[in-house]
């Protein structure tokens, strides 16, 4: 009986949770557009919670940004237009994936540079040690 009660409560809380998630935010009527908006949510950082995208964040401001994205998508704005508009508000910071420019060049190619350098250093190191041994 007790177990059944717990299971019933769990199911009930799941239903309530799902109901909340779906009633608070109205998806766009056009399924294609909604899909585009959802894809964009994953590319936009939540400005309150640092390392979450607005797709995953329960923060109020993330909800506002989701609504703005939906409105813009419904108006027919392109993905890059929407991102540019958000960047004008919050800076490059708002993009989950930093854009490639002069300031972020090292961020993008730094690891590859380190790897290549390490490879050549290791080559020289091993070649010399083989020469010494032989």
Partner 1 sequence: MTVRLLIIRAIPLLIMLTVAVSLLFGLMNKPTKPKGRMIGKPIAMFDIPELGKPGSHFSPKAWEGRVALINIFASWCESCQAEHGVLHALSQTGKLPIYGIAWKDKEQNIHQWLSAYGNPYKAVGFDNKGRTTLPFSMTGIPETFLVDKQGVVRFHYNAALTDDVITTEILPLAEELNRDERMGR
Cα–Cα distance measured from residue 129 to residue 39, given in angstroms and rounded to the nearest whole number: 53
Q: Pick out residues in 42-61 that bind partner 1 (CB under 8 A).
A: 47-48, 50, 60-61
Question: Whole-number minimum distance, CB 50 to partner 1, in Å?
Answer: 5
Question: Whole-number minimum distance, CB 16 to partner 1, in Å?
Answer: 22
Q: Pick out residues in 88-127 that bind partner 1 (CB under 8 A).
A: 89-91, 93-94
Q: Phi/psi class of residue 50: alpha, beta or left (left: φ > 0; alpha: ψ in -120 to 50)?
A: left
Cα–Cα distance measured from residue 95 to residue 110, given in angstroms and rounded to the nearest whole number: 20
Cα–Cα distance measured from residue 121 to residue 75, given in angstroms and rounded to the nearest whole number: 55
Residues that bind partner 1 (CB under 8 A): 47-48, 50, 60-61, 63-65, 67-68, 89-91, 93-94, 129, 132
């Amino acid at each position: 009986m007790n177990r059944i009660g717990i299971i019933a409560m769990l199911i009930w809380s799941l239903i309530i949770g799902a109901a909340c998630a779906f009633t608070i935010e109205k998806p766009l009527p056009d399924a294609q557009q909604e899909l585009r908006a959802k894809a964009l949510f994953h590319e936009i950082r939540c400005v309150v919670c640092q390392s979450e995208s607005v797709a995953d964040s329960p923060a109020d401001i993330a909800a506002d940004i989701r609504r703005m994205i939906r409105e813009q998508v419904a108006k027919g704005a392109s993905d890059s237009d929407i991102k540019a508009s958000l960047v004008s508000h919050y800076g490059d910071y708002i993009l989950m994936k930093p854009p490639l420019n002069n300031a972020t060049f090292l961020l993008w190619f730094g690891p590859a540079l380190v790897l290549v350098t390490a490879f050549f250093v290791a080559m020289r190191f091993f070649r010399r040690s083989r020469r010494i041994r032989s």
